[in-house]
């Protein structure tokens, strides 16, 4: 499979995760995850019940992403998620959110395409496996 880098704003979760890079979306042959903003019928139970995607503040305000506008930002759940992703996957949700707030979602998507595109084949680098979804090249 040679998935070319298709990263869109709708793949960016409220927590700052780029769902286009997730192994559940990239590497699964069947039951591919639609991403946090996708149809709930196709998501795992943990994704449907995610504290962040179901945040009352996001629902009340209509904001698409966690931000400094929330008095709890970054909340405990976001801080824990950020710490895990920094340590294991070379990604910071909080840095992603700060970039989005400062530069906008379009600039963030452009920067993500550059960062997560395989230089060998143009495929998407899977954040969870440190490898290209197209050619399997190891990264990081």
The answer as to whether 21 is a domain residue is: yes
123 in any annotated domain: yes
| 55: Cβ contacts below 8 Å, ≥ 6 apart | 14, 66, 75
Averaged pLDDT for residues 17-24: 90
Number of domains in the chain: 1
Task: List, as own/partner pairs, every contact residues 133-138 make where C-beta atoms lie below 8 angstroms and the sequence separation is at least 24, other chains included.
Answer: 133/1, 133/3, 133/26, 133/27, 134/1, 134/2, 134/3, 134/4, 135/2
* pLDDT tens per residue, range 45-63: 878 888 998 999 999 999 9
The answer as to whether 73 is a domain residue is yes
| pLDDT of the residue at 2 | 43
* Average pLDDT, integer, range 15-37: 85
> 90 in a domain, yes or no?
yes
Q: How many CB atoms lie within 10 A of CB 28?
A: 11
CA count, 13 A, side-chain hemisphere, 53: 17
Mean pLDDT of 16-23: 92
* Rounded-to-integer distance, Cα 60 and Cα 19, Å: 23
The pLDDT of residue 1 = 41
C-alpha distance from residue 89 to each of 64, 69, 83 (Å): 23, 27, 10
pLDDT value for 5:
57
Asked whether the predicted pLDDT for residue 3 surpasses 70, the reply is: no
**Residue 1 falls within a domain, yes or no?**
no
At 93-120, the pLDDT tens digits run: 999 999 999 999 999 999 999 999 999 9
pTM to 2 decimal places: 0.89
Average of per-residue pLDDT values in the chain: 89
Cis peptide before 64 (omega within 30 of 0): no
Q: Residue 43 is part of which domain span?
A: 9-132
């Amino acid at each position: 499979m040679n998935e070319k880098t298709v990263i869109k704003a709708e793949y960016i979760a409220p927590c700052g995760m780029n769902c286009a890079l997730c192994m559940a979306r990239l590497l699964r042959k069947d039951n591919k995850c639609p991403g946090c903003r996708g149809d709930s019928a196709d998501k795992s139970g943990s994704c449907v019940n995610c504290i962040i995607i179901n945040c009352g503040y996001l629902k009340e305000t209509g904001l698409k992403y966690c931000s400094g506008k929330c008095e709890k930002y970054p909340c405990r759940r976001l801080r824990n998620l950020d710490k895990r992703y920094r340590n294991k996957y070379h990604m910071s949700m909080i840095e992603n959110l700060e970039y989005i707030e400062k530069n906008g979602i379009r600039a963030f998507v452009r920067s993500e395409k550059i960062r997560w595109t395989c230089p060998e084949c143009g495929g998407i680098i899977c954040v969870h496996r440190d490898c290209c979804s197209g050619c399997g090249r190891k990264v990081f």
